[in-house]
Amino acid sequence: MKLLKDKILKDGKVINESILKVDSFLNHQIDGQLMKEIALEFKRRFENENITKVLTIEASGIAIAVMTSMAMDVPMLFAKKKVPSTMDTSIYTTKVFSFTKNIEYDICVAKEFLSPNDKVLVVDDFLANGHAALGLANLVKQSGAELVGIGIVVEKGFQNGRQLIEEQNIKLESLAIIKDLKNNKINLK
């Protein structure tokens, strides 16, 4: 996806060999036009899959997921990182380890919004070690819904997220893949 790749090369900032900062357009300030193009690209890549729901995790996945769900004309659902006081016990939950924050946390969705009739697309802004994406896949599995695939905006190709996802025979589509961030340079595949 050329527009995205150009944006990453132009505005991405290399923090170190494993961290790329894209907060001017993807996960702090958000470029709506880019989100729209990302949504259309996910729609194209998962066409004819009869997706009924787009699932992501708060917070950075939400803008991507809502635009994608609009493009597909289905509802979107975002997993929460804390169980809100207004959520009763009818939830699916799993544990996710965040390497960025070095903590393990619970994620959850209300059972009423995922059913065995659903065909679910998981989307997120980044794929690194795959823990967040696989946590979402686990919630889908618990519900009995079908996981159609995982759509990622920026994949860190030098980490093992793709391997872990493909080992579970889950379709993975990344719109941009970073080969490495060596020598303070963004090297895209």
Q: Summarize as ranges the residues that interact with a copy of itself (CB under 8 A).
A: 15, 19, 21, 23-24, 28-33, 35-36, 58-59, 62-63, 66-67, 69-70, 73-78, 80, 84-87, 100-101, 109-110, 112-113
Closer residue to a copy of itself in complex, CB, 28/163: 28
Q: How far apart are CA 126 and CA 137, in angstroms?
A: 15
Extract the tokens encoding 177: 């893949």
Closer residue to a copy of itself in complex, CB, 139/172: 139
- Residue 98 CB, nearest distance to a copy of itself (Å)? 11
- 96, 164 contact by CB (below 8 A): no
- Residue 78 CB, nearest distance to a copy of itself (Å)? 7
**Nearest of 122, 121, 125, 133 to residue 162 by alpha carbon:** 133
Which amino acid, 106? D
Closer residue to a copy of itself in complex, CB, 62/177: 62
Closer residue to a copy of itself in complex, CB, 21/179: 21
DSSP three-state, residue 134: helix
Q: How far apart are CA 69 and CA 183, in angstroms?
A: 38
- Residue 103 CB, nearest distance to a copy of itself (Å)? 11
